[in-house]
Amino acid sequence: MASAHVFSRGGAERVRVDHGRGAELVDVEGRRYLDAAGGAVVVGIGHGVTEVVEVAAAQASRVAYVHGSAFSSEVLEEYADALGPLLPLENPRIYPVSGGSEAVESALKMARAYHLARGEDRDVVIGRHGSYHGNTRGALSVSGRQGLRQPYLPWLTGVAHTSTPYEYRCPFPEAHPDGCARRHAEALEAEIQGLGPARVAAFVAEPISGAGLGACVPPDDYWPAIAEVCARHGVLVVADEVMTGFGRTGAWFGGDHFGLRPDLLVAGKGTASGYWPLGLAVASGAVHDTLREGGFVHGFTYSHHVVGAATGLAVLRVLQREGLVEASARQGERLHAALRRELADVRVVGDVRGRGLLQAVELVADPATREPFERSERVTERVLEACREQGVLVYPGTGCADGRRGDLLLLGPPLVVTDDEVDRIAAGVAQGLRDVLGGVGAGG
Ligand code: PLP
C-alpha cells in the first residue's frame, strides 16, 4: 500500500524503484526498464556509479555542511578550478546552488544587480516562447510555456518573450530555412526597441531547446546574430544549459556547437548526474567583478555545499575519464538514426530531431499538414505508458505546437548507453507507438 502521507507528483500510483545500473532501472518487483530519458534528462554518467557515492560519503563523513558565507573548502575550489576551463565564459566564476530553478533565479538577480552596479536600472528580462526555465516564480516568469504559466500570470512580471527557433514549425515560414535566423534577431531587436533598450537586463534562452519544444536545434547563424543584438544593447546573454550542459548534446555545453560565449550560464541536471541536487549559476569574470563592486547580496542555506562540490567534481572526473561527451555525440547519432529507421513506417511521427543524446520525436495527427492531435486524445500520455510497457522510459512533453496542443517524446538516456540499449530504445518507442496509435489513425 502506498503511503497516504506523500504529496505525490501526478495522479497515478507509481511503481517503487529498487535500484539502477548504467542505463537500466529495476523496480521492487524485479521489472527492468531502460531509462531512456535519464529521469528528466538528468543522469549523464549512469546509475549506480559507486565511486561517486563513495566520494560523497567520504566528504559527508569529514564535514557535511558549513555555511557558504562562513567557510570555503578545498573541494569547492578544486571543483571550480577543474570546471573553469570547460565553461564557455571568459574567466568564469561558479555559484553552486541546489538545482536548475535556483540557478535561474540566481542568474536573473545577477543580471539586474550587474546593471544596477553600473548605475542602470534595467527591470525587464526577455525569454522565448515555448521555453522552460523552471517552476519558481522568476524562472516561470521568463519561461514561455503557457500551460505552466497560466494559473500564476498575475505573479509573473518583469518579462517579455520573443520568437524561438523551431525548425519543424518555423515562426517565419516565408524566410525559412536560410533567412529565419536573421528574422529571429530582428524580432529580438524589435522587442528590445519596443521595451526601450535601457530597460532590458538580459536575454535568457536554452542554446538547444529542451523540454518545452523538444530538442530544437537552431540554425547555425542564429546564436551569432542574437549575441550581436544583445551586445549592441548591453543586454546580458544568459545561456540556460540546465538540460544541455555537461555533455548532453555531444559537446560540453549546448552553446559550444555555435561558438556561444554567454555572460551568465546556468546548469543543473547533468552537473551532478542526480547524485546530488546541484545547480550552478556561472558569471563571466567581468560580470562577477562588477557584482562584487556593487555589493551583490544573495545566497541560499545550501549554496556552495561541500558535499555538492565533492559530488560535482567526482561526476566531472567520470565524464572526462570515460570520454562521455564524445560518447554522447557518437551514441546520439546512433540513436537518431535508429529512431528514424524504426519510426519510418509510423505515420504519426512528424519529426525526429536533436543533437547528441538529446533527441525528440514529435507526433502529429496529420504529417502532411503537421496538424497536432487534440489534447483531449492524450496521445503523449498514452504512448508514454505503452513505451513503459515495452520497458522503455521516455520523458513527455505537451504544448509544443501552439501552447496547448503538440505531443513530444523526449529521449536523453545516460551517456553510457550501449549500442544494444540504443537499438532497444528505438525499437521499444516504435512498438509503444504502434500499440497506442491503432486507435488514432496510425499507419505502420
Ligand atoms: N532550465 C531548463 C532548461 C530545464 O530543462 C529545467 C528543468 O527541466 C530547469 C531550468 C529547472 O530545473 P529544476 O527542475 O532543477 O529546478
pLDDT in tens, the chain (444 residues): 678 898 888 766 778 999 999 999 999 999 999 999 999 999 999 999 999 999 999 999 999 999 999 999 999 999 999 999 999 999 999 999 999 999 999 999 999 999 999 999 999 999 999 999 999 999 999 999 998 999 999 999 999 999 999 999 999 999 999 999 999 999 999 999 999 999 999 999 999 999 999 999 999 999 999 999 999 999 999 999 999 999 999 999 999 999 999 999 999 999 999 999 999 999 999 999 999 999 999 999 999 999 999 999 999 999 999 999 999 999 999 999 999 999 999 999 999 999 999 999 999 999 999 999 999 999 999 999 999 999 999 999 999 999 999 999 999 999 999 999 999 999 999 999 999 986 444 444
**Of ligand 1's atoms, which has the minimum distance to the CA of residue 104?**
10
SS3 311: helix
Q: Which of 102, 135, 269, 271 to mutate to test the pocket of ligand 1 (most atoms within 8 A of CB)?
A: 269
Give residue 266 CA to ligand 1 midpoint distance, Å: 9
What is the domain class of 63-321 according to CATH?
alpha beta
Residue 444 is predicted with a pLDDT of 42
Sign of the four-CA dihedral 187, 358, 330, 425: negative
Give residue 211 CA to ligand 1 midpoint distance, Å: 9
Which residues lie closer than 8 Å to 434 by C-beta, 6 or more apart?
346, 442, 444
The answer to whether the beta carbons of residues 299 and 69 sit under 8 Å apart is: yes
For the chain, helix, strand, coil in percent to 5 are 45, 15, 40
The answer to whether the beta carbons of residues 38 and 410 sit under 8 Å apart is: no
Give residue 41 CA to ligand 1 midpoint distance, Å: 10
Q: Which of 101, 164, 278, 358 to mutate to test the pocket of ligand 1 (most atoms within 8 A of CB)?
A: 101
Nearest to 207 by CA among 216, 195, 194, 198: 216
Q: Which of 132, 148, 164, 204 to mutate to test the pocket of ligand 1 (most atoms within 8 A of CB)?
A: 132
Pocket around ligand 1 at a 6 A CB cut-off:
40, 99-101, 104, 132-134, 206, 210-211, 240, 242-243, 268
Give residue 101 CA to ligand 1 midpoint distance, Å: 6
The answer to whether the beta carbons of residues 343 and 333 sit under 8 Å apart is: no
User: Ligand 1 atom 15: the closest Cα is on which residue?
Assistant: 100
The answer to whether the beta carbons of residues 159 and 127 sit under 8 Å apart is: yes
**Of ligand 1's atoms, which has the minimum distance to the CA of residue 134?**
11
Q: Give the alpha-carbon dihedral of 31, 33, 39, 41, to 10 degrees.
A: 170
Residue type, 22: G
Q: Which of 42, 97, 242, 249 to mutate to test the pocket of ligand 1 (most atoms within 8 A of CB)?
A: 242
* Chain center to CA of 283: 19
**Of ligand 1's atoms, which has the minimum distance to the CA of residue 211?**
5
Give residue 388 CA to ligand 1 midpoint distance, Å: 23
- Encode burial over 122-137: b for 16+ CB neighbours within 10 A, e otherwise: bebbbbbbbbbbbeee
CATH topology classification for 17-48+323-440: Aspartate Aminotransferase, domain 1 (3.90.1150)
Give residue 398 CA to ligand 1 midpoint distance, Å: 16
List the domain boundaries for the chain.
17-48+323-440, 63-321
Q: DSSP for 338-365, please give it.
A: HHHHHHTT-TTEEEEEEETTEEEEEE-S
